[in-house]
């Protein structure tokens, strides 16, 4: 029998280190803070920790602009701290996955400082440089995700350079084989240190169209972006040429070949393209590319059974070889407890249901820190904003700070909620203090303990970890599907509304799983009655 691959069905807990736990009193979380809280993470029953970037950086995009891929920014600690984190995690049978931001660097990276000097140095072709048009304007119409043209003039070279993100994040030129080799060498540095895998940021952005062809315009009715506001001009184009190029597939194979030298390590790719589900399937196909892919498809405002069913079913049809990974929240979007409450107050029962739903889909799961507490989006005053994206688009779009505020640990600390001993880099959400870990730890009915209970229950259900999925056509607000593995078949039903709902089944139920304290659905004859935000699980004959 083939050995089970650990990442299949794994729950991956995302730590945003700036906001997790501050141990040195500078108002910014650090690696030692993750170590100090590792027993808490263990108590959640997760399989891996994804640590967002902690590398040396000017922090123009809070670590996603890297100036040294092989060192740790002093605000987070040092390499010895990271070694200790790996040791402490592995001692508890927790894997460590780290971000790798490969498509671009900081403009303070030595490679770029060399490349920008002239057109003849040994790094001259390591970034995407292009001449101005005869009238001095940008080489083409490509746009930055964060607003405005994707080209920045560099007077030293007398050329423009490409930046798909902030101007301080110049894009590497992956058409240059030396760049590919150098990037993979940096990845291997962390493999040698013992990491268990990588979350590959914006991995479909590594290659650009070598001919620099213009992107075509997108009609207004199609301007529905993933992960950016609709008033951002980025949504005005089909992004056919500035990312997701065919050459990128061979680079995915290079990454996989490297990981194969370190058995048990995995690659999870973040993918945002014109058809992200198709790209996820392509990038995980053949067993020689990424192990997993995830996208922004369930990080949207659409919270309907039809949308979730169609999104997951579409990926299932396309991804016949790879393995999906799903998320409802991360560090780039409004927290799901607010986003899917439709402006109402956060409902603890909905939070409990969403955890169960996400962890019942086929695939692995990324859970963002605080999701287990039911944290909603924090209100951050304009004068407290740190995210340049939010500052630029205020007030129509408030940026990403509202989902990045510090983790609340201690409800009795009315100032910083146990995160720090000083004013933190972002204010602690006022509404978060009442639902801090200390306030939920000993409450059997809390969102936190429902999370722990469900994850422990799920871990013993192989059908939920690796089984296939088949959706049932249901009317709103009910979402229902089967999970099947070998001779085991489980029925999973969810009420996405706060009102009572019913689901009728003709299946022969051999066991109703009512051992979960927060699942109170009732079965009478062939009818399942679900309370608001209720869940129902049953094993079928």
- 159-162: strand order across its sheet: 129-130, 159-162, 151-154
DSSP string of 423-460? --SSPPPGGGGGG-HHHHTT-TTSHHHHHHHHHHHHHT
186, 178 Cβ separation under 8 angstroms: no
Q: Is 270 a catalytic residue?
A: yes
- The torsion angles phi and psi of 472, rounded to 5 degrees, stand at -110, 135
Contacting residues for 337 by C-beta, under 8 A, at least 6 apart: 346, 350, 351, 354, 371, 374, 375, 376, 377
Q: State the DSSP code for 5.
A: P
Taking alpha carbons only, the member of 495, 497, 489, 479 closest to residue 529 is 495
d(CA 402, CA 430): 12
Give the rounded distance of the alpha carbon of 10 from its chain centre: 14
Token pair listed for 291: 């192990």
521, 530 Cβ separation under 8 angstroms: yes
Angle separating helix axes 248-260 and 177-192, nearest 10 degrees: 30
Q: How far is CA 462 from CA 59, 486, 489, 490, 541, in A?
A: 42, 10, 11, 11, 17
Token pair listed for 199: 């979350």
Residue 363 falls in which region: left (phi positive, over 0), alpha (psi -120 to 50) or beta? left
Contacting residues for 212 by C-beta, under 8 A, at least 6 apart: 130, 139, 140, 241
The residue from 30, 81, 99, 201 that is catalytic is: 201
- The torsion angles phi and psi of 70, rounded to 5 degrees, stand at -110, 15
Q: State the DSSP code for 172.
A: B
61, 166 Cβ separation under 8 angstroms: yes
Taking alpha carbons only, the member of 478, 449, 481 closest to residue 463 is 481
The residue from 270, 297, 316, 371 that is catalytic is: 270
Q: How far is CA 4 from CA 7, 24, 26, 293, 467, in A?
A: 9, 40, 43, 19, 13
Task: For the chain, report the end-to-end CA distance as a whole number of angstroms.
Answer: 25
Q: How far is CA 319 from CA 78, 174, 192, 375, 419, in A?
A: 40, 26, 31, 32, 41
200, 104 Cβ separation under 8 angstroms: no
Return the active site residues: 201, 270
């Amino acid at each position: 029998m083939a050995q089970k691959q650990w990442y299949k069905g794994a729950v991956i807990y995302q730590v945003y280190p700036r906001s997790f736990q501050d141990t040195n009193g500078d108002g910014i979380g650090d690696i030692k803070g993750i170590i100090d809280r590792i027993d808490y993470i263990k108590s959640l029953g997760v399989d891996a920790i994804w640590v967002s970037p902690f590398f040396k950086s000017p922090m123009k995009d809070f670590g996603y602009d890297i100036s040294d891929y092989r060192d740790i920014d002093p605000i987070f600690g040092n390499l010895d701290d990271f070694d200790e984190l790996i040791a402490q995690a592995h001692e508890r049978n927790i894997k460590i996955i780290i971000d790798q931001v490969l498509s671009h660097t900081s403009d303070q990276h030595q490679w770029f400082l060399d490349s920008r000097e002239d057109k003849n140095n040994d790094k001259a072709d390591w970034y995407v440089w292009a001449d101005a048009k005869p009238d001095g304007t940008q080489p083409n119409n490509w746009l930055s995700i964060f607003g405005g043209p994707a080209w920045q003039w560099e007077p030293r070279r007398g050329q423009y350079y490409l930046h798909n993100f902030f101007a301080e994040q110049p894009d590497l030129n992956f058409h240059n084989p030396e760049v590919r080799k150098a990037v993979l060498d940096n990845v291997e540095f962390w493999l040698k240190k013992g990491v268990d895998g990588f979350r590959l940021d914006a991995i479909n952005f590594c290659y650009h169209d070598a001919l620099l062809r213009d992107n075509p315009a997108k009609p207004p009715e199609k301007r529905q972006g993933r992960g950016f506001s609709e008033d951002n001009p980025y949504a005005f184009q089909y992004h056919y040429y500035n990312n997701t190029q065919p050459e990128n597939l061979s680079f995915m194979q290079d990454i996989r070949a490297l990981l194969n030298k370190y058995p048990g390590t995995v690659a999870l790719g973040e993918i945002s393209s014109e058809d992200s589900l198709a790209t996820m399937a392509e990038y995980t196909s053949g067993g020689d590319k990424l192990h997993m892919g995830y996208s922004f498809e369930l990080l949207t405002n659409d919270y309907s059974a039809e949308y979730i069913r169609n999104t997951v079913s579409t990926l299932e049809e396309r991804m016949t070889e790879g393995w999906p990974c799903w998320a409802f929240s991360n560090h780039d979007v409004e927290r799901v407890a607010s986003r899917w409450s439709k402006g109402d107050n956060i409902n603890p029962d909905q939070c409990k249901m969403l955890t169960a739903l996400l962890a019942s889909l086929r695939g692995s799961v990324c859970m963002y820190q605080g999701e287990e507490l039911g944290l909603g989006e924090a209100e951050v005053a304009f004068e407290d904003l740190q995210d340049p994206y939010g500052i630029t688009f205020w007030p129509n779009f408030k940026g990403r700070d509202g989902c990045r505020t510090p983790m609340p640990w201690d409800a009795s600390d009315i100032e910083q909620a146990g995160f720090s001993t000083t004013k933190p880099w972002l204010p602690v959400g006022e509404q978060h203090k009442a639902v801090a870990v200390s306030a939920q730890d000993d409450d059997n009915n809390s969102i936190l303990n429902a999370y722990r209970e469900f994850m422990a229950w799920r871990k013993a259900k192989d059908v939920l970890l690796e089984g296939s999925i088949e959706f049932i056509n249901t009317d709103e607000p009910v979402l229902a599907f089967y999970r099947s593995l070998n001779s085991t078949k489980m029925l999973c039903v969810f009420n996405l509304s706060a009102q009572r709902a019913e689901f009728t089944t003709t299946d022969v139920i051999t066991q109703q799983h009512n051992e979960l304290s927060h699942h109170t659905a009732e079965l009478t004859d062939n009818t399942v009655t679900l309370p608001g935000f209720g869940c129902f699980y049953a094993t079928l004959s």
